[in-house]
Amino acid sequence: MAAETRTAYDVAADLVEGEAEADLRAAASRAYMAGFQHLLRHADGLGFTPENTGRDHGRLKGYLLNSGDPTLEAIGYELDKLRHTRNGADYHIWAPFPEPHARYAVERAHAIIHHLYPAGE
Amino acid sequence: MVTTPEPAEEAVTIFNELARLPASAREALKQKAWRLAALERNRPGDPWVLLARARLSAKLGDAEGLRAVLDRLWPLYPAFDEQQLEFAARHFLLAGMFERVWAVLDQRQETPAYHGQLRLEAALGLGDPVRLQRLADSRADEVGRVRRFLEGMENADLREHLPALATITRQRVGEAFCGFGATLGEDETDAFPQAYLRYLVPWAFDDRFATEQALLQDLRAYAEQNGLTPGAVLEAWLVALMDSREF
């Protein structure tokens, strides 16, 4: 079934082509989850142990940025920007959310999954 | 009978129309450019004509053109009306002319709460802890986010390094940008608000990604040279290069 094979990234990539601001906000939100879930799925390789709770958002960011490993820092930096873009999409609803923000989120999720940490490919 | 609008009114109309035109509407934008050139010949130094030209340049991703128009607009600011002042400040911000944002706003009211958001973005662009402190001490910081950011910077020994982080960023980004925005963001995962600076540049993904990675190296090197924890710097100072061609 399509619903089982589509990833959060696929959903984000589709949504960003939408014209409504709600689509763009949803795209950024899904893009962050795509990057975050990809890293959690391959947490062993990062040396990170998930708690599988909401606290993992902050724990993973802190772990990567303070790892002292330039590669992991770069992944953490991208993930953190993605998180801020997603927060803008989900919570700062009084501020406009223009298309470049949504496209940035989707491209950076792609960068995490395929360039910075292409685990499982 | 068809009446011809006054040139100043027409410039305001074009300025407003430009806000609704996407960058992809090249033919319509070219027509606006042609009309603005004609208006400027009749009214050299008209603030609305210059503001419309600035908006057009930003829309076209013409950073050099944007700065040239804003340099001509700059000496006129003491005579701006309220609307011209706000739009000029916004365009100075987009072009990274952060000192000018504060100057034009101070001309009207020196209180930091006057257009506090614009002032905050410009202060973050400069990495200016003194102006940030003025905002933190004013009604502009209603929810205390600027104060918490500065406290976080102080605790991480980063406060005095903010101007250097801004300079490193600007040097790496260069002058190709014609869009800028900055926020202090935080959620429950953050110990304190983080600066998130967004530059709009007309570059494809590969160039933007490579520049961001190079900036990451610059920030890490600066942290190491100054005895700072790289992770703390990266956590406090986020920079994104977004594609202006999609705007």
Q: Please tell me which residue of chain A has the smallest CA distance to B213.
A: A74
Which residue segments constitute the domains of chain B, with CATH numbers given? 1-102 (1.25.40.10), 111-247 (no CATH)
Please tell me which of the candidates B187, B235, B247 has its beta carbon nearest to residue A100.
Answer: B247
pLDDT higher at B25 or B162 = B162
> Cα B40 from chain centroid?
25
Whether this model's ipTM surpasses 0.85 comes out as yes
Q: Is 70 exceeded by the pLDDT of residue B9?
A: yes
* Shortest Cα–Cα distance, B54 to chain A (Å): 20
pLDDT band at A119 (very low <50, low <70, confident <90, very high): confident
The torsion angle over the Cα atoms of residues B14, B15, B18 and B19, rounded to 10 degrees, is -140
What pLDDT, in 10s, does the model give residues A55-112? 999 999 999 999 999 999 999 999 999 999 999 999 988 888 989 999 999 999 999 9
Max intra-chain CA distance, chain B: 74
Which residues of chain B have a CB within 8 Å of the CB of A84? 183, 185, 194, 196, 238
Q: Within 13 Å, how many C-alpha atoms sit on residue B74's CB side?
A: 17
Q: Is 50 exceeded by the pLDDT of residue A1?
A: no
pTM: 0.93
Q: What's the CA gap between A32 and A39, in Å, rounded?
A: 11
pLDDT band at B117 (very low <50, low <70, confident <90, very high): very high
What pLDDT, in 10s, does the model give residues B104-113? 999 899 999 9
pLDDT band at B63 (very low <50, low <70, confident <90, very high): very high
Domain positions in chain A are 55-121
Q: What is the pLDDT of residue B6?
A: 66
Cβ distance of A73 and B230 shorter than 8 Å = yes
